[in-house]
């Protein structure tokens, strides 16, 4: 069954290496939604770590490998990160100026939540629901101009309740290599986010971006705030989401 056609999965390096469960969940959710899922071989990374660190030549070299892998792929390219999707859409045109492969890839790039949110329908709430908070990454919010698709999907789940956190639009402090170069500032920002989520009554934090979750999970554990971190595909799979 693939009545919605074929998609090409771009798990991103972080999901591939650090949170492969999110990639597996994404495949299952996409299939349940009626997509045929392919995984174009030879992908590595979109180049963002080097690009944001001021090493564009190194970023281009790595990204060109991923571009090559995606160039021959089929259907929408479903990216499991708002941040990587934003990097592709904003940095790649500059990195691959004049490269005819880039436009054909970039017009097919779509973040996982943004692909599925239009298919979501509001579900009637079940009795006792688990309270979760959603963290929309800054690159999803401001890079992709999409502050709603994640929340739309969570709201369509009968088994969970999306709680409103204070200062939701504030950066969590991850920021890639910023998290290491200025770790104290980064974790101070992270504590604000974790505390806001905790104060809102959520014991589970969901996000479409694994980078933010790695950082926030570490901060929560350090400060003994009871908070589990779940990627959006994992949540949708667990809650049995279907269009």
Residues 68-107 that bind another protein (CB under 8 A): 69, 90
- The residues pairing with 131 across neighbouring beta strands, listed in sequence order, are 161
Assign residue 42 a region (left: φ > 0; alpha: ψ between -120 and 50; beta: otherwise). Answer: left
Among 11, 82, 208, 233, binds another protein (CB under 8 A): 11
Site size for another protein (CB under 8 A): 71
Among 42, 72, 93, 243, binds another protein (CB under 8 A): 42
Tell me, what DSSP letter sits at residue 127?
S
User: What is the spatial distance between Cα 24 and Cα 170, in angstroms, rounded to a whole number?
Assistant: 30
Taking alpha carbons only, the member of 10, 171, 170 closest to residue 87 is 10
Chain positions 162 to 181 lying near another protein, rule: CB under 8 A, are: 167, 169-171, 173-181
In the complex with another protein, the residue whose CB is nearer, 39 or 159, is 39
- H-run or E-run covering 22: helix 20-32
In the complex with another protein, the residue whose CB is nearer, 50 or 160, is 50
Chain positions 145 to 164 lying near another protein, rule: CB under 8 A, are: none
Q: Are 174 and 168 in contact (CB under 8 A)?
A: no
Among 123, 126, 188, 240, binds another protein (CB under 8 A): 188
In the complex with another protein, the residue whose CB is nearer, 123 or 170, is 170
């Amino acid at each position: 069954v693939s009545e919605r056609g074929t998609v090409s999965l771009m798990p991103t390096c972080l999901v591939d290496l650090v949170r492969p469960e999110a990639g597996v969940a994404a495949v299952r959710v996409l299939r349940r939604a009626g997509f045929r899922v392919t995984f174009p071989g030879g992908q590595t990374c979109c180049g963002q770590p080097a690009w944001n660190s001021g090493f564009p030549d190194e970023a281009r070299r790595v990204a060109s490998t991923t571009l090559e892998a995606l160039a021959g792929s089929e259907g929408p390219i479903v990216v499991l990160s708002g941040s990587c999707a934003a990097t592709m859409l904003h940095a790649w045109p500059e990195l691959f100026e004049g490269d005819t492969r880039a436009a054909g890839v970039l017009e097919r790039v779509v973040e996982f939540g943004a692909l599925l949110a239009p298919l979501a329908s509001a579900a009637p709430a079940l009795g006792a629901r688990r309270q979760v908070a959603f963290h929309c990454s800054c690159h999803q919010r401001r890079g992709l101009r999409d502050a709603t698709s994640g929340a739309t999907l969570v709201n369509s789940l009968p088994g969970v309740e999306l709680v409103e956190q204070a200062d939701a639009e504030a950066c969590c402090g991850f920021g890639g290599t910023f998290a290491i170069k200025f770790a104290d500032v980064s974790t101070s920002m992270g504590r604000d986010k974790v505390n806001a989520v905790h104060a809102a009554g959520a014991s589970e934090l969901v996000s479409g971006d694994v980078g933010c979750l790695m950082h926030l999970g570490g901060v929560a554990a350090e400060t003994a705030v009871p908070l589990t971190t779940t990627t959006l595909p994992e949540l949708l799979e667990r809650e049995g989401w279907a269009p």
